[in-house]
Amino acid sequence: MATHEIRDLSEVKSRFAVYLRVEKGLSANTATSYAADVDKLTHYLSSADIAVEQVTAAQLDTFVCTLQDVGIGARSQARIISGIKSFYRFLRLEGYVDHNPTRLLASPRLGRHLPEVLTLDEIDRMIAAIDMSAPEGQRNRAIIEVLYGCGLRVSELVNLQLSNIFVDEQYVVVLGKGDKQRVVPISAVALKEIAAYLEQTRSHQVTKRGCENILFLNRRGGQLSRVMVFYIVKQLCELAGVRKVVSPHTLRHSFATHLLEGGANLRAIQQMLGHESITTTEIYVHIDRSRLREEILRHHPRNSHA
């Protein structure tokens, strides 16, 4: 049974489009493609008189079979299924469904897409690009340090609570997907930036009701939005001259990749990221190997030009 009924599907789809750009960091073209794929599903469900929030895994399997029947290729099928999975993750996050019917939806095996990763120098340049004379300067500095230093999802960052920051023990308690809590170590650097933000900015703000325990606030004393964090990261990348396609999620990828490069155990990384399955975390092994190959090709004497 859904948590609450979808009354305006077009409005939900509009918010899904924002989620794809902000939370997932997808390009405009990919987000548009995903939206079109969801349109295919909702048209099919409407013709079958099935509510979007009430669909079952078996009904989704039937929909995928119709894709095969009309001759849609494996790669296009995989993209459509990926879009639908993202849509139902979004519906779960927003409270429209209390379970994800796409969890077991099979997709054609195609090779993995390796996410973008920032170097430590690029992250340092982003931090250096922050205007510390601006009222939000120290807050933004703390945001980048926490995103990168703890590997948080942007939704976890904006919901981070003051009471869940344990300074002496150097860890934070994070509320992740499915309302699951996990303990994540936090660096002394990130704690220092948080302390400076609390002293210089947060303690002087008039806080909106219900946001008293929220760490990062906007200028009006309300909870910072996911969209705003997206724009903060994008702006800092532009100012720092970082030419990669970057979102808040890129800092999470960078966190995990740098841990692996430093010798961290894959299981430990899985726990810190809050991945249910180790197979999700294994993408960082592929990133590490890919970067190792690039380094060999670039620096090995047998690959140098005479």
> Containing H/E element for 172?
strand 171-175
Which of the 8 DSSP states describes residue 186? -
> Containing H/E element for 11?
helix 9-22
Annotated catalytic, 15?
Answer: no
Q: Exactly one of 79, 139, 153, 258 is catalytic; which is it?
A: 153
Q: Exactly one of 40, 125, 182, 275 is catalytic; which is it?
A: 275
Return the amino acid letter for 122.
Answer: E
Annotated catalytic, 249?
Answer: yes
Q: Exactly one of 19, 88, 148, 284 is catalytic; which is it?
A: 284
Q: Exactly one of 40, 177, 208, 286 is catalytic; which is it?
A: 177
Q: Are strands 181-185 and 165-166 parallel, antiparallel or unpaired?
A: unpaired
> Containing H/E element for 267?
helix 266-273
Annotated catalytic, 171?
Answer: no
- Residue 143, SS3 per DSSP: helix
Nearest to 201 by CA among 268, 139, 269, 151: 139
Q: Is 178 left (phi over 0), alpha (psi -120 to 50) or beta?
A: left
- Which phi and psi (to 5°) does residue 179 adopt? 60, 30
> Containing H/E element for 277?
none
Are the beta carbons of 252 and 155 closer than 8 angstroms?
no
Residue with tokens 């430990």: 268
Cα–Cα distance measured from residue 9 to residue 41, given in angstroms and rounded to the nearest whole number: 12
Q: Exactly one of 21, 92, 139, 252 is catalytic; which is it?
A: 252
Judge residue 237's burial from the number of C-beta atoms within 10 Å of its C-beta, 0-12 exposed, 13-18 middle, 19 or more buried.
buried
Q: Exactly one of 141, 202, 249, 253 is catalytic; which is it?
A: 249
Cα–Cα distance measured from residue 192 to residue 194, given in angstroms and rounded to the nearest whole number: 5
Annotated catalytic, 89?
Answer: no
Are the beta carbons of 122 and 242 closer than 8 angstroms?
yes
Catalytic residue IDs: 153, 177, 249, 252, 275, 284
